[in-house]
């Protein structure tokens, strides 16, 4: 979904840039609900206020809802066919590729200082360990930890350093 959203919102329509998409994705991941709906709500609000938010949300959920309703009427019968089972296996492989593609795109646009690289590396290692031991851990906690670390570092440590540097320059 992120690949499609990026291609449409960043590349084709130029509503937002990669950095804004990354910020919106972080906010959307930390709120309940599907990411496409959360992104649409956020972008709609950014572009046209509350009415834009409402219209973007309705536009995002109406077509998939109708399609899923129609598919659900026939799904039990469809899954009995071997070709449909194999098609879903292929779709799963394609989805993995799309997720990796968006991940690499977001990494390219990420600020590459020592703190960002450290947080990214620690999260990747933690995620691998948690996956190997089959431990559930919600992405919200990674986002919350990154928020706290970023706030502490850039708000206090980096802020103090810059303030001290400005005071020395005034002298």
Domain ranges in the chain are: 1-110, 111-171
CB-based burial label for 171 (10 Å; 0-12, 13-18, 19+):
exposed
Confidence of residue 100 (pLDDT cuts 50, 70, 90): confident
What angle is formed at CA 33 by the lines to CA 3 and CA 136, rounded to 5 degrees? 90
Q: Is residue 36 classed exposed, middle or buried when 0-12, 13-18 and 19+ CB atoms within 10 A define those classes?
A: middle
Summarised one tens digit per residue, pLDDT across range 53-79 is 999 999 989 998 998 888 888 777 777
Please report the pLDDT score of residue 171 as a whole number. 64
Mean pLDDT, the chain, integer:
83
Assess whether pLDDT exceeds 90 at residue 48.
Answer: yes
- Distance (Å, rounded) from C-alpha 139 to C-alpha 69? 29
Count of CB atoms situated within 10 Å of the CB of 122: 14
What pLDDT score was predicted for residue 161?
66
Task: Tell me the two tokens of residue 155.
Answer: 């708000």
What is the rounded CA–CA span in Å between residue 45 and residue 43? 5
Q: Choose the most confident range, by mean pLDDT, from 97-111, 114-128, 152-166.
A: 114-128
The pTM assigned to this predicted structure is 0.49
Task: Give residue for tokens 């993995």.
Answer: 96
């Amino acid at each position: 979904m992120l690949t499609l959203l990026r291609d449409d919102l960043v590349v084709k329509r130029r509503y937002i840039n990669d950095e804004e998409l990354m910020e919106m994705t972080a906010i959307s991941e930390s709120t309940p609900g599907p990411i496409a709906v959360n992104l649409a709500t956020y972008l709609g609000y950014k572009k046209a206020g509350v009415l834009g938010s409402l219209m973007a949300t309705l536009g995002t959920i109406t077509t998939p809802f109708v399609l899923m309703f129609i598919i659900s009427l026939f799904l039990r019968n469809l899954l009995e066919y071997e070709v449909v089972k194999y098609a879903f296996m292929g779709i799963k492989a394609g989805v993995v590729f799309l997720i990796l593609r968006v991940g690499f795109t977001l990494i390219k646009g990420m600020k590459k200082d020592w703190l960002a690289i450290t947080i990214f590396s620690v999260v990747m290692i933690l995620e691998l360990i948690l996956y190997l031991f089959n431990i559930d851990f919600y992405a919200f906690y990674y986002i919350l930890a990154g928020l706290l670390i970023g706030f502490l570092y850039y708000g206090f440590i980096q802020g103090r350093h810059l303030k001290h540097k400005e005071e020395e320059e005034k002298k």
